[in-house]
Structure 1
């Protein structure tokens, strides 16, 4: 996926100077413009997905998602 984004000019991938095994990924200006342009749609979709939940359920759901992502 990162390689596809790089080919589209949305991010740069370089090697870490201190550890050549690591790759450093950074967003390009074009990638930044795209992210800003898409942000309102992302917010709308998120609101639609979370609409069925109460505020407490939303908080719990998002907390569980964060935990799932951080432990993977």
Structure 2
């Protein structure tokens, strides 16, 4: 099956993560290093492990920063 993987804005995917076909990573979600994501991750949820499971912590659901603003001030 070749379903699309969808990663929404402000999500953070750490190193060595495997995301299986058809999975959606919600807005602001975090996937810990070395995790294997087999199911959708809801917005703001932090997951880790193999298989990836939610941790007790949750990220803020308000995202009002723009990473490009930081880069614009640092042009050489």
The TM-score with structure 1 as length reference comes to 0.22
* Structure of greater Rg: 1
**Quick check: which one's helix share is greater?**
1
* Structure with bigger RCO (C-alpha 8 Å, 6+ apart): 2
**Quick check: which one's strand share is greater?**
2
